[in-house]
Amino acid sequence: MNIKKEILKLKEERNAVILAHNYQLGEVQDIADFTGDSLELARKATDIDSDVIVFCGVHFMAETAAILNTDKTVLLPAKDAGCPMADMITGDQLRELKAKHPKAKVLCYVNSTAEIKAESDCCVTSSNALAVAKSYPADQEIIFVPDRHLGGYTAEQLHREFILWPGFCPTHACFMAEQIAESRKQHPDALVLVHPESPKPVRDAADQVLSTGGMCRFALKSDNTSFIIGTEVGIIHRLQLENPDKSFFALHDRAICPNMKKIDLEKVFWSLKDMETKIVVPEDIAIKAKLSIEKMLSLS
């Protein structure tokens, strides 16, 4: 069986669209209708005519698409593809933190559960956290959950202090500034692009701190021809495809998010065939979570 042909046939029969995150396997990115970062995917999810969305990413991304599309079926081809960072804070923990800081506004990274989004004032992604945070008065107390690195980076840019939840991404937390120094020795002309989920010493040693979508746009526009990429290695597939004459080197070739790699062509096929796994968010949570996602979309 030609699996690509079968997927395209099923996609038509089901009136489905395939969305993929920049970290997905190359074969999945290649069959997707749209590949992007979390913000681009959330925006895309507000503008879909199809009845079915096959979301090739992790659970919180499919959940966000489901919250924005209550009239559509959202499928996650690997039901166990979660984001460990999103699971580092529970609703009860956030409610407790809010009770300690009753005047604070809560910004939640989109890498969070629907329950956390529902408890937050506004959602952010790695590409709009600064713009969203800037929209609050300078003296406004801010709680930022769950990523202490993106939260710390955003506060730092604004010369402010946030109340940070100590969450982190296990894939990005492993990067070290020493790896950048070593990589620069091997590729002296390369620019170093890192994701804001990286620890501060890594961000400080980089040339640019960007979301995955920001990295794609930067590489396309830049006159530079080589880049050291400090994020999950799956993005190199897209960078190389869009910039065939430029070179991309992984800051660390084992910077792999195991959850992002749970989806392959076979899983996409079975997802469309069996219409599994459907992502459904309880209505009371979805209504509140939608407000924080829509506020973010209106601010960025």
Number of residues that bind ligand 13P (CB under 6 A): 11
- What x-and-dash track marks residues 23-52 binding ligand 13P by CB under 6 A? --------------xx--------------
Determine the angle formed by the axes of helices 283-299 and 59-68, rounding to 10 degrees. 90
Nearer to ligand SF4, 10 or 36 (CB): 36
Residues 174, 255 contacting (CB under 8 angstroms): yes
Q: Of ligand 13P, ligand SF4, none, which one sits near residue 84, judging by CB under 5 to 8 A according to partner kind? A: ligand SF4
Amino acid at 138: A
Q: Of ligand 13P, ligand SF4, none, which one sits near residue 22, judging by CB under 5 to 8 A according to partner kind? A: ligand 13P
> SS3 of 178, please?
helix
Binding site residues, ligand SF4, CB under 6 A: 58, 83-85, 111, 169-171, 197, 232, 257, 259-260
63-122 binders of ligand 13P (CB under 6 A): 111
Residues 23, 255 contacting (CB under 8 angstroms): no
Q: Does 125 bind ligand 13P (CB under 6 A)?
A: yes
Q: Which of 73, 179, 212, 271 binds ligand 13P (CB under 6 A)?
A: 212
Interatomic CA distance for residues 105 and 55, integer angstroms = 30
Buried b (16+ CB within 10 A) or exposed e, 116-141: bbbbbbbbbbbbbbbebbeebeeeee
Residues 6+ apart with CB under 8 A from 103: 141
Q: Which of 22, 113, 183, 292 binds ligand 13P (CB under 6 A)?
A: 22
Nearer to ligand 13P, 29 or 211 (CB): 211
Q: For residues 237, 242, 247 and 248, what is the CA-based torsion angle, rounded to 10 degrees? A: -40
Q: Does 259 bind ligand 13P (CB under 6 A)?
A: no
CB of 57 to ligand 13P, least distance (A): 8
Q: Of ligand 13P, ligand SF4, none, which one sits near residue 209, judging by CB under 5 to 8 A according to partner kind? A: none
CB of 298 to ligand SF4, least distance (A): 24
Expressed in angstroms, the distance from the first to the final Cα of the chain is 44
169-208 binders of ligand 13P (CB under 6 A): 169, 195, 197
H or E segment to which residue 129 belongs: helix 129-134
Q: How many helices (H) and strands (E) does the chain have?
A: 14, 12
CB of 141 to ligand 13P, least distance (A): 26
CB of 6 to ligand 13P, least distance (A): 29
Q: What length is written for the chain? A: 300
Residues near ligand 13P, by CB under 6 A? 22, 37-38, 111, 125-126, 169, 195, 197, 211-212
